Structure 1
Amino acid sequence: MTSSAPGTAAEALTGLARIRPPGWLAAPMPSDPAALIGRARQALADDHPGVTGRLCVLSTRYTAAVFAVNPDPPEASLVLKLHADPTAYAGETLAHALLTGTAPVPRLYAEGETSLSLLLEHLPEAADWTRPQMPAVLADRAAAVHTASQRQTAEAAGAMAGFTLATLQGAPAPVWIADPVAYGEVLAAYADAYGPNLVPLGHLDLKPEHLRLRSDGEVMLLDVESVRPDVTGLIDVVTLPAVLRQAGHELSAGRVLGLYLDATAARGANWTASTLRSALRAYAAATGLESLHGLDR
């Protein structure tokens, strides 16, 4: 595989990422600001009675919109997130169920099935990427998500028993896998590194702007709706160099791999540089990923 320098995390996944065709969602988020605010107010009325305040649009896209809800006093502000895609809503609620209390993600206060909404902790302060330790922080935050199932309650572990490595190794490969044999090699490498009971979470939407500060200074990860329990964290390892480059940190692939090895070792993994590189090569073969951008060397 040839090395390249992707500018974004999405570009790092060339060959694996699948672009949906225009118009795939029957009822996307409205583009009109007034319609957006009206939808948010209806969501609060339908699913979150008693939550009132000034609404401010933080972001909007085809599938979702995010608002700040600013009551009095403003320090108590919340985030209201609306989904247009029921699958994405279900995925985000599952992700928070898996990660709350076990990984650095915003607190989830309430869910609204009628409006496909979530009330979340508001984290308006961006992480300071000028700090030299931020590459290690990013690797640590990714590793915390990847190993979250090791710190779950017994109830949550029981609910996710169908996605442990032991179960996945005995099941057919997912339909999106291009090479089932290589996928089996990935799962075997994971089982060697973590044991058979790990749920191999991965597929974070990693971007520099998605790292935020809690009031105590802890760095948190935003937008975990894309996390899935079968893709493994290797997809995120591939994107780490591009995310760091976007944030102004030009690190060699070997240095990035070392940061991730340190972060996962601190959380109980038994990876070595050799076994992680082998797993990455198998992952690329299994998924059709075109390049590992030097991480496999």
Structure 2
Amino acid sequence: MLPATAAEALHGLIRVRPYGWLASPLPTLPAAAAERLRAARDQDHADHPAADGPLEVLAARATATVATLGDPPAAVLKLHAATPAYDAELLAYALVGHCPVLPHLLRSADASRSLLLEHLPDPVDWAAPAAPAALVAAVAAIHAASASLDAASAEALEAFRLDHLAAAPAPAWVSDPDAWHTALTLCTRAHGPAHIPVGHLDLKPEHARHRRGDPAVCLIDIETLRPDITGLIDLITLPAVLRQAGRPMPGPDVRELYRAATARHGAAWTTNDLRAALIAYQRATGLATLSGLAD
């Protein structure tokens, strides 16, 4: 059996499986999904202030179902069909859930594989002049969040420090190990050897939100985040997200916004090092384009 190509591996990090793989798929009819969500709410989240309010189903999928709680909505209840997906979201919040540009995880580790998150009601106004820079700043803040891990989390994730990743063989999905280690070396120069290189956010225009009365961009749906990919993959994704949002920007402009935003969190990227890291990452992974970021 042939191994997956690097590009396939990057696009399949969350292991998209064929329909029917779930042992216990969730109901996809809204009424049945609402019943399951109410059961999870009553079992594990009955003490939340919004638990007595209305429950409105936002999505009913076999893999996960989502609803808001309260009127106006105060929390988002998310129920997972499979333990690995639930654990992946818990891992993402363990890594960066304390970051101020993410919704707050209100409760976790319950019997029903459900998460209760702060509700972020307002979509980003992409016509606002500062919107692109605010998105880039939010991504940079998440990439820097591992520097503020508590001692227990830092110890548990020590194997993913840049110095340990750089000393280890390249992952199987990497097509050019030398280029991979070049990218890690440049990331280490910018962030330091103890940095945990989180990346692979599920970036889309609709996943950028506001809290009421706060102009800062927040990001939702972070369960695809991994501690071994580096933030370079998110930087490479940003030009496409901005195009989708109707705010296209030249690649070098996006790159420099990101470099400045990471510098505010202590990173020491130079323009030349960041360009070189992006080129090395592309060679290592087989990505088709850098969207002009290395120009």
**TM-score, shorter chain, exceeding 0.5:** yes
Mean CA deviation greater in 18-27 or 79-88: 18-27
Q: Which residue does 1:17 correspond to in 2?
A: 11
Give the conservation status (yes or no) of the 8 Å contact 1:47–1:112. no
Calculate percent identity across the aligned residue pairs: 48
Query: Residues 1-297 of structure 1 correspond to what in structure 2 (within 5 A)?
Result: 16-18=10-12, 20-50=17-47, 51-70=51-70, 74-75=71-72, 77-217=74-214, 218-297=216-295
SS at match of 1:148: helix
Q: What is the CA-CA distance between 1:167 and the residue it aligns to?
A: 1.5
What do the CA deviations read for 1:145-190 (whole angstroms, capped 9, x no partner)? 1111112223332222121111212223223222222221111111
2: distance between equivalents of 1:15 and 1:248? 29
Q: What is the CA-CA distance between 1:211 and the residue it aligns to?
A: 1.2
Unpaired runs of 5+ in structure 1?
1-12
SS at match of 1:44: helix
Q: Whose relative contact order is higher, 1 or 2, with alpha carbons under 8 Å and at least 6 apart? A: 1
1: distance between equivalents of 2:110 and 2:168? 31
2: distance between equivalents of 1:219 and 1:292? 24
TM-score (norm 2): 0.89
Q: What is the CA-CA distance between 1:29 and the residue it aligns to?
A: 3.0
What do the CA deviations read for 1:179-211 (whole angstroms, capped 9, x no partner)? 222221111111011100100000111111111
Q: Which residue does 1:9 correspond to in 2?
A: none
Give the conservation status (yes or no) of the 8 Å contact 2:29–2:60. no
Unpaired runs of 5+ in structure 2?
1-6
Mean CA deviation greater in 220-229 or 106-115: 106-115
Give the conservation status (yes or no) of the 8 Å contact 1:16–1:290. no
1: distance between equivalents of 2:91 and 2:150? 14
Superposed CA RMSD in Å reads 1.9
What do the CA deviations read for 1:77-112 (whole angstroms, capped 9, x no partner)? 211011123212111111112223234100111114
Q: Write the letter of the residue equivalent to 1:267.
A: H
Give the conservation status (yes or no) of the 8 Å contact 2:64–2:80. yes
TM-score (norm 1): 0.89
